[in-house]
Amino acid sequence: MFLLSIYFAALHVVLLHKFRSTLRSPTDRHGRYQAFATDLAFSRTPVGWLATAPPASGIVKKSCQEVLANMSARPILYYALFSPPARAALLTSKYIGLNVELKAINYAAQEHHSDWFLKVNPRHTVPVLVDQGVPLCDSHAIITYMVNQYGQSQHDHLYPKDFLKRAIVDERLYYEDGVLFQVIKDFVARIMYGGDIDYHRKSIELSHNAYSFLEGFLSRSSYVAGEELSLADISINTTLITLHKLVTIEERRYPKICAWMQRMRGELPEYEEINEQGAQQLYLRFQHALEENMTKHT
C-alpha cells in the first residue's frame, strides 16, 4: 500500500509538470489553454474563480478574457416587420445603437414553422434575440435585456435603475401585453381565423377601452410611464399604431394619445421605415383576410 501511494504521488507530480509546461509552450499554448477556458466560460464555474486559480491562473485568466471577447459577436435578432413586438425590439436596438445581425423571417413561406427555426423558438413567434447562444423569445424580455446589457448611461431613462420608476415602466408593459395587445389578438382570432367579414363590435369596444386607459396614463405625465421616454413608450407605440389603422384614434376623444403619437414620430429612429411600414403590412394582412372571408360568404 505504501509503495502504491508513492507511485500515485510521483505520477501526479509528473502529470502536473507536463501540464504546466504545455501551457507555457509557445508553440501550441494558445489553442490548448483557450479550449480549457472555453469550457470554463460555458460552464457554471464563475469567471471570478479564475482569480484564485492555481499558479498558472494568469495564463488561464487571459485566455478566458479572450474567449469572452470572442463570444461578443453581434446578437442575432429574428423578426418580421409586420409584428408589433418585433418592431419594438428593432426600434430599441436602433435607439441605443446596438449593432444586431438582422434575420427576417418569411411568414408567407411558413419559415416560422421550419425545423431550424423551431429549434430556435419552439413557439414559432418573433421576435427572438439570440445572444451568446441563448435565445430570448419575448419582446419585453428582449428590450429590457438590450438596455440592461448594452445600454449606456444616457439610455437609463428607457429602463430606470430607480426601482419605483422601473416598476411603473414594467406596469405599463404589462398593460400593453394584457390589455392593448389582446385587442390585436381579438381582431386576429375573429378575422384571420374566425372568418368575420367586418370588424366585430366587441373588438371595437375593446379598442376604445384600451385607448381610455392609455389616455389616462398620458393625462398624468408627458410620457406613458413618467416625464421621460421609456421602453413602455416604444413598445406600446408599435402596438398602438397598428390598432389605429383598424380603429381610428380620434383627436377630439383622445387628445393626449394623438399628441404623444406625434412626438413619437420625431423621437424614435427610422420611424417611417420600421413602424409605419410594419403597421401598414399588418393592416394589409387584415384587409386581405376580410376580402377572402367575404368571397367565401358569397
73-108: pLDDT as tens digits? 899 999 999 999 999 999 999 999 999 999 999 999
- Phi then psi for 129, rounded to 5 degrees? -110, 125
Give pLDDT, residue 73.
86
Selected from 1.10.150.130, 3.50.50.60, 1.20.1050.10, 3.40.50.11810, the CATH number assigned to the domain covering 76-297 reads 1.20.1050.10
Catalytic residue among 21, 63, 83, 219: 83
- Note the residue count of the chain: 298
Neighbours of 142 (CB within 10 A): 23
Q: Give the cell for residue 15.
A: 502529470
**Is 83 assigned a catalytic role?**
yes
The span from the CA of 89 to the CA of 94, in Å, is 9
Give pLDDT, residue 298.
82
Tell me the Cα Rg of the chain: 26
Burial of 115 (0-12, 13-18, 19+ CB in 10 A): exposed
Burial of 298 (0-12, 13-18, 19+ CB in 10 A): exposed
Residues of the chain with CATH 1.20.1050.10: 76-297
The span from the CA of 49 to the CA of 62, in Å, is 13
Q: Give the cell for residue 141.
A: 424580455
Q: Give the cell for residue 296.
A: 367565401
The span from the CA of 56 to the CA of 50, in Å, is 10
Q: Which residue in 124, 128, 135, 79 sits closest to 104, CA to CA?
A: 79
Q: Between helices 139-150 and 231-246, what is the axis angle to 10°?
A: 150
Give pLDDT, residue 293.
97
pLDDT per residue of the chain (298 residues) written in tens, 0 to 9: 544 454 444 544 444 444 344 333 333 333 332 332 222 223 222 322 222 233 333 333 333 334 334 444 899 999 999 999 999 999 999 999 999 999 999 999 999 999 999 999 999 999 999 999 999 999 999 999 999 999 999 999 999 999 999 999 999 999 999 999 999 999 999 999 999 999 999 999 999 999 999 999 999 999 999 999 999 999 999 999 999 999 999 999 999 999 999 999 999 999 999 999 999 999 999 999 999 999 998 8
CA 79-132-48 angle, to 5 degrees, is: 150
Element (H, E) at 103: strand 101-104
Give pLDDT, residue 36.
28
Q: For residue 250, how far is the Cα from the chain centroid?
A: 31
Cα end-to-end span (Å), the chain? 94
